[in-house]
Structure 1
Amino acid sequence: MGIVKIDDELHEQARRASTVMCRSINAQAEFWMKIGMIAEANPTLSFNEIVSREFAAAQLRVAA
């Protein structure tokens, strides 16, 4: 675990998003980083495709 320095405005956006998504600020930032890393490695995947793949990898079935 370490400390990551981010811009104050980005921190505020993470704080607001974390409230909406019921996550801590750190969990929200970690989520954004993980999705961003996957998106960079797989530029043709949409956000929904990335999330679906992560659910499948966690063996989580979500009813439609």
Structure 2
Amino acid sequence: MGIVNIEDDLHEQLRRASRASCRSINGQAAFWIRIGMLCELNPGLSFQELAARELAAAGVGAPDLAA
């Protein structure tokens, strides 16, 4: 585990986003870092596609609402 220095404005945005997402500040930062990494590694996929892929990999499923 390490320490990451970020700008005060970004930390404030992180704090606000964590409250809205019901995550800890560290959890929100980890989420943003992971999504950012996935976006860089998979530039052809949308956020929704990446999120769906991650949820499926974690064994989370939902009924198809289009049916």
- Shorter-normalised TM-score: what interval? over 0.9
Cα distance in 2 for residues equivalent to 1:39 and 1:60 = 21
How far the C-alpha of 1:59 sits from its partner, in A, is 1.1
Unaligned runs of 5+ in 1: none
Flag the structure with larger Rg: 2
* Partner AA of 1:18 in structure 2: S
Aligned length: 64
Relative to the length of structure 1, the TM-score reads 0.95
Cα distance in 2 for residues equivalent to 1:19 and 1:37 = 23
Aligned to 1:21: 21
Cα distance in 1 for residues equivalent to 2:2 and 2:17 = 22
Relative to the length of structure 2, the TM-score reads 0.91
* Partner AA of 1:12 in structure 2: E
